[in-house]
Amino acid sequence: MRDQRFFPKDLTAIVVLLAAAAFFALVRLYPIADALLLSFQRKVGAQEVWVGLENFRTLSTDTIFLQSIWNSFRYTAMAVPGVLVVGLILALLVNNVKNTFWRGIFTGAFFLAYVVPLVAVAVMWRYMYLPSRMGLFNALLGLGNLGPIGWLDSTQTALPSLAIVRVWKYSGYAMVLFLAGLQAIPETFYEAAMIDGANRWQRFRNITLPLLGPTTVFVVMVSILSAFMMFTETYVMTGGMFTSSVRGGPDFSTTTMVVNIYTTAFERFKMEYASAMTVVLLLLMLIVSIIQYRNLRPTWEY
């Protein structure tokens, strides 16, 4: 390792680095510090007053806040396994298509949902989830004399309905990653197993699944991170037209942590309280990251 200087020798490089670092500190580091400071304060009139841990004490008894944490966890627990399983099944199926043309068509079709804007997607799902027979799903259920289900209108089904949208939208993304993982598994492994007389399930169980480990870990980590921060689905699909409930409803059953932060900060204008929530969420994310890093890291390579 050669001796390294603290700054590069080149003037242009120094300018670029310093400018970027300063800006990075401004938009990525300072805001975190600011949120931390703000979370210990409260606005009294036009004055910020230091109140210590009061915001956090209020948070610990704030039922809506506690429910929002619970909702975020529930939503993640429903959506992530769905994305993972559907994505893997799609990848295994598509991987068996040897015809390049059809393979491209199928890959493209399943991946389309990931690319199109989530907001527009959520708008169309909202329309399909109409609680009357006018909605597509209830009309389909009607063919079998089932339902109608309230979907977004009932506290029981609202959050699962939003999780279904995520499974639909992100399975294609998981599929593409799994496909790349499948292609990296050497064909000789399967040939050797076949000579030993391993059947299809045994080959899947003992070769494919373990060797997809690193891909799976990546998909799980990315999916958890994104599902935990869910905002758009609730914002677009609840409240407003066709429904009597407010956004995040019915009865706060779709109010996730980010939704709660947004309403607290920008509809009720309690910036300090929202900052305290942000800090709690940041800590939660930190814990989740550490657990993932500790437990999901594959300990071997091939």
Partner 1 sequence: MMSAPTFRTEIIQRLGRRARSQSDRVGVRTQRRIERIVLYLVLVVLGVVFFLPFYWVITTSIKTTPELNLMPPTWWPHTLTFEHYPEAITPEFGRYFVNSFIYAMATTVIVAITSTLLGFVLTKFSSKFGEIFFLGIIASMSVPFDLYVVPLFMLLLGIQKNTGVPMLNTYWGMVFPWIVFPFGTFLMRQAMLSVPNELLDAAKIDGASTLRSFWQIVLPLVRPNMAALCIFVFIWRYDEILWPLVVAQESNMYPISVGLVEYIGEYFIEFGQFTAASVVAIAPIFVLYILLQRYIIQGIALTGMKG
Q: Binding to partner 1 (CB under 8 A): which residues in 227-286?
A: 228-229, 231-232, 235-236, 239-241, 258, 261-262, 265-266, 271, 274-275, 278, 281-282, 285
> Do the beta carbons of residue 67 and residue 288 sit within 8 Å?
no
Phi, psi of 274, deg, nearest 5: -65, -35
31 binds partner 1 (CB under 8 A): yes
**Per-residue x/- mask for partner 1, residues 35 to 54, rule CB under 8 A?**
x--x----------------
Which one, 75 or 173, has the nearer CB to partner 1?
173
Sequence-distant contacts of 156-162: CB under 8 A, at least 24 apart? 158/238, 158/249, 158/250, 158/253, 158/254, 159/71, 159/74, 159/75, 159/78, 159/253, 159/254, 160/78, 161/129, 161/237, 162/75, 162/230, 162/233, 162/234, 162/237, 162/254
Q: Which of 132, 156, 199, 202 binds partner 1 (CB under 8 A)?
A: 132
In eight-state DSSP terms, residue 169 is H
Question: Beta-strand (E) ranges in the chain?
Answer: 41-44, 47-50
Q: Does residue 302 bind partner 1 (CB under 8 A)?
A: no
Q: Which of residues 204-223 bind partner 1 (CB under 8 A)?
A: 218, 222
The residue among 266 and 302 lying less far from partner 1, judged by its C-beta, is 266
Site membership for partner 1, residue 65 (CB under 8 A): no
- Asked if residue 104 binds partner 1 (CB under 8 A), the reply is yes
Nearer to partner 1, 269 or 302 (CB): 269
List the structure tokens of 83. 């994305």
Q: What angle do CA 167, 214, 226 make, to 5 degrees?
A: 35
- Minimum distance between the CB of residue 128 and partner 1, rounded to whole angstroms? 6
- Report the residue number, 6 or 50, with the smaller CB distance to partner 1: 6
Q: How many residues bind partner 1 (CB under 8 A)?
A: 93
